Structure formats: C-alpha cells, structure tokens
Structure 1
Amino acid sequence: MADVEFHVDNHVAHVRLNRPQGMNAITGGMDDLLFEAWKTINDDPEIWCAVLSAEGEKAFCIGADVSEGPERKTRMALAGGLTGIGGPLVTLRKPMVAAVQGFCVGGGFELAMCADIIVAAETAQFGLPETRHGIIGECGVVHRAIRQLPHHIAMAMILTGERIDAASAAQYGLVNEVVPYAGLAEAAAAWAAKINKCAPLANQAAKAAVLGRLGYPLEVALMTRFEEIEQYAESDDVRERNAAAAEGRKPVWTGR
C-alpha cells in the first residue's frame, strides 16, 4: 500500500495518509505524492471537492519525518504542497474537508488548516510543539494559526507548545464538527456530499474570491472583479440553473 492513497469516487477525491506506524509523519516521498494529488484535484474537472484523512487512530499527522535528517529535500515542505514553504504557494482550488483524529501537530496541524472544513474526532489534539523542542524556521503553521484562532489562544499554543483538544478547537471556531472516532469518515463524507449539492464552479469561484482578498480591507474586496466569477457566469451550469428554475426542477450540475 502507498504511504499516500488516492482515489476518486462520485466527484470526490479521497487523499489518505497511510503511514500509521510513523504517526503519518510526512516523508519526502509522501510530499511528492501529495503534490501530485493536489495537482490532479486542481486539474481534473470531474473532481468537485476533496477529503483528506489519515490511517490509524493515534495520529492524523505529526508533521515532517525528522528521521530523514536536515538534508531532507521536499517539493513543497511539510504540508505536502499546500503551504508554499520552501517553494511556490500551491492553493487547492476545490473545496477540501479534513478528517482529523489523534495527534494533529506541527506540519500536520498546518496541513489540516489548509482545509476549508475540518471534522475532528473526539480524540483529536491540535498543537504547535516547535518552540518547546527548540525549533522555529519559516514556519507556516504559526501564520495560519494566528489567522484561524483567536489571537491569544494561538499565541499561547505557539509560545508554550501546549495542545488543545477537539472540544476546545470547536469552541474557538477551528473545527466545524466533533464526532466519535468511529463516525469520523461518515461525517467527512456527509460534508463532501453537502458541498457537492452546490454548483461546483460556483463553489470554486467563491473560494477563489474569499481567499484572493482575505488579507485586504473590505472596501478593496468589494471593489474587486474576480475572473473565476466572471467565467462561471458563462458556464453550462449557469444555463442549467436558469433552465431548472424555469422548469421547476432541481439543477443537475456538470461542473462545465
């Protein structure tokens, strides 16, 4: 079995970390496989959303496999192609759901925060242990944490290395849903199904607009014209939307 499994089912790409014996720490080889997965998801019009998960109850991912040593070379650093540390920023254009259990720390935490929706098992523990171990570099995880958590919660995690549990993560708005571990895959699949009820190109345009002006003042965002939204306006799905409304039926999306 590959250390990163990938398959597509009913317009959903499933990306699964499969190295539970190493707590799903990301090796250079896994990094390459993840990069290829993100590229395929972005490029394939039949893929409308993605679910990222991990094998084994103990850990979602503990970050980089440090046993490979400081000479370790990766294509896109710890988070397998999404964060851009050490390479060009790669953003997943399709919506992504992360299903998280056990330890989700360091680069693993960063990888989860790249998702648009996070479902956490009750066993999940989120943390940034870098400074506790005397490690800090071009650390994307801290930049994401300070944007996705309340300021003082994120700073406490960064400066102490202490973890928060799934219930606290939900309280702080980091995760969308907390479920028993046995129901994690089902919950993630349910979120993917909700996403895919929507027009896929509309979702992609909305995500592009949100992320494209996330760091800008509201006035700038409101004045911006987005290429993805304008392209969607000329799509088959817009014509299908109008036809379905006129005929009193539910639209059948094609993502075209």
Structure 2
Amino acid sequence: MSEESPVLVDVADGIMVITLNRPAAKNAVNKALAEGVAAAIDQLESSPDIHVAILTGAGGTFCSGMDLKGFVRGETPMIAGRGFAGLCEYRCAKPLIAAVEGYALAGGFELAISCDLIVASDASKFGIPEVKRGLAAAAGGLVKLPKQIPQRIAKEWALTGDFVSAGRAYELGLINQVVAAGTALEGAKALAAKIAANGPLAVAKSKEVVDNAQDWTSDVMFAKQNEIVLPVMTSEDAIEGATAFAEKRAPVWKGR
C-alpha cells in the first residue's frame, strides 16, 4: 500500500504489521480505514507464510476511536461481518497482537481488546468514554470487556468513561506487557517472534480452544477441546516437532 493509505501493511519473517495510518486524526476510524483493516486481515488469514499479526498506530497513538466528523456526515466505519473498523466483530484464526502507544480510546480501545494479546507503552491510556458523548461502547466494550476483567470494574469504566493507565490495565490482567514509551511495537515483535517460531497448526488450534473455552460448561469442555486438538496430535507437524527435538535441530513446519 502507498504511504497515503489509511492502513499500511508490512510482512517479514512470518509476522505482519498492520499500521493504522491517519496520524493527523489520531488514527480515528473512518470507512476507508475499516476497509483497509479488513483487507489486511483477509491477507493474514489467506497466507500460509504469515503466522501472527501486530496491530499498531502511526504517529505515537494507537487509535482515538471513531471519526466523529465522519459520523456526523453519516459515514459508518463498519464492515459487514467484521463490525467496527473491520475487526471488532471478527475472530481471527491466527494470533493478533495490539502494540499500543498513546491513546486506545472508545473504538480504539475496542480494537485493542479484540486482539489476542496487548503490549502497551507505560505512557498509554485506555478507556471507553462514549458515554461522555451520549454514545455507548457498542463495538465490544460492553460485551467483551466484562469477559476480560472483573465485571464491576468493566461496569465502572463503561459508566464513567474515565481513562485508565497502562499500569492499572496490567494489574487487572487486561494487557500482557507494559514497556517503555516508544517501544510497544518492538515489544510486540519480540512476542510475535516467539509465536511465529511454533507450529502454526498447534498455535491456531490452541488459540481456538482458548477463545471458546469460557463458553463451555465443565461437562463438555474436554469433548469440545478434543474435537479441535486431536487432529493436531496426529499431524505432520507433530511428527516433525518430535523428530526435530530428537535430532537437536529447529523444526520445519508445514502447517498440517
């Protein structure tokens, strides 16, 4: 994509970096940005050579949410089947890491919590301040957040619209790592490299189980898990992993 694109995509060593690229607007989400994110996710899902993706923002800010000027004009930054910003109602088969600098607010916050993992700058701020504008955090803040942190805390954030520090979000288990300002992408790449080194089939199926496990009752959870992971145990990658360990070499994954 060109430098003027609202979304930039770079792929190296099995890792895709998706950059929200409207820095003058604090990476606020308009229709074009939503379409760009959806297209990047399509590329991620369809390419066997890409194992993990990082979502970040240009200009020292992750995302300030919906472009309110566009909203007033009647523009809707939604993609059918994907939701807000082309991602918030979609679950990727491959891991997605948010690298957060600056603000992740409103829809930007909902984008971050739609990722599997979050690496955040110690100067970053999170929040769902929609109520301060007479709106509601309907892109995931009201339904996903209570599944990721204690319900009473999620309710407080939703009803007050207050901003939250990276430190507080880390204490609550919402984010995985807090790093020095300006190094969130670097930290996310290091985390992504660890994931990309593993068997892609095993990673995808492990993610699928964890994504769904909270909705399974205890009497069915192992049966549901086994439906997903048993094929991994008999895969070519499983044999390769064991063989590579015995031969003291790095495995060569086939994803099957």
Residue in structure 1 matched with residue 101 of structure 2 by the alignment: 101
The code of the aligned residue for 2:79 comes to R
1:168 is displaced (CA, Å) by 0.6
Residue in structure 1 matched with residue 215 of structure 2 by the alignment: 215
1:50 has 2:53 as partner: yes
Which residue of the other structure, out of 36, 56, 71, is the alignment partner of 1:69? Answer: 71
Which residue of the other structure, out of 14, 22, 35, is the alignment partner of 1:19? Answer: 22
Task: Please tell me whether the aligned partners of residues 127 and 164 of structure 1 are also in contact (alpha carbons under 8 angstroms).
Answer: yes
**Moved segments of 4+, more than 6 Å:** none
Of 147-156 and 223-232, deviating more is 223-232
Where do 5+ consecutive residues of structure 1 fail to align?
Answer: 85-89
Q: Secondary structure at the match of 1:98?
A: strand
Task: Please tell me whether the aligned partners of residues 61 and 108 of structure 1 are also in contact (alpha carbons under 8 angstroms).
Answer: yes
Change (3 A) 1:137 1:188: closer
Q: Deviations over 1:69-109 (max 9, x none)?
A: 3532331576422222xxxxx21111111100111111111
The code of the aligned residue for 1:179 comes to V
Change (3 A) 1:138 1:166: closer
TM-score normalised according to structure 1 size: 0.90
1:120 is displaced (CA, Å) by 0.5
1:252 is displaced (CA, Å) by 2.6
1:1-256 correspondence runs (5 A): 1=3, 2-57=5-60, 59-69=61-71, 71-73=74-76, 74-76=78-80, 79-84=84-89, 90-136=90-136, 138-225=138-225, 227-256=227-256
1:226 is displaced (CA, Å) by 5.1
Root-mean-square deviation (CA, aligned residues, Å) is 1.9
Q: Deviations over 1:172-199 (max 9, x none)?
A: 1111111112222211111011112221
The CA distance in 2 between the partners of 1:137 and 1:240, in whole Å, is 45
Task: Please tell me whether the aligned partners of residues 117 and 176 of structure 2 are also in contact (alpha carbons under 8 angstroms).
Answer: yes
Q: Secondary structure at the match of 2:183?
A: helix
Task: Please tell me whether the aligned partners of residues 54 and 100 of structure 1 are also in contact (alpha carbons under 8 angstroms).
Answer: yes
The CA distance in 1 between the partners of 2:84 and 2:100, in whole Å, is 15
Of 144-153 and 134-143, deviating more is 134-143
The CA distance in 2 between the partners of 1:108 and 1:175, in whole Å, is 14
Residue in structure 2 matched with residue 87 of structure 1 by the alignment: none
Q: Secondary structure at the match of 1:51?
A: strand
Change (3 A) 1:180 1:138: closer
Q: Deviations over 1:188-225 (max 9, x none)?
A: 11101111222111010001111123222233222215
The CA distance in 1 between the partners of 2:83 and 2:209, in whole Å, is 26
Of 238-247 and 224-233, deviating more is 224-233
Task: Please tell me whether the aligned partners of residues 199 and 237 of structure 1 are also in contact (alpha carbons under 8 angstroms).
Answer: yes
The code of the aligned residue for 1:218 comes to S
Task: Please tell me whether the aligned partners of residues 88 and 139 of structure 2 are also in contact (alpha carbons under 8 angstroms).
Answer: no
1:228 is displaced (CA, Å) by 4.4
TM-score normalised according to structure 2 size: 0.90
The CA distance in 2 between the partners of 1:39 and 1:232, in whole Å, is 24
Change (3 A) 1:20 1:78: farther
Task: Please tell me whether the aligned partners of residues 84 and 139 of structure 2 are also in contact (alpha carbons under 8 angstroms).
Answer: no
The code of the aligned residue for 1:75 comes to I
The CA distance in 1 between the partners of 2:71 and 2:85, in whole Å, is 17
Q: Secondary structure at the match of 2:182?
A: helix
Task: Please tell me whether the aligned partners of residues 4 and 16 of structure 1 are also in contact (alpha carbons under 8 angstroms).
Answer: yes
Q: Secondary structure at the match of 2:120?
A: strand
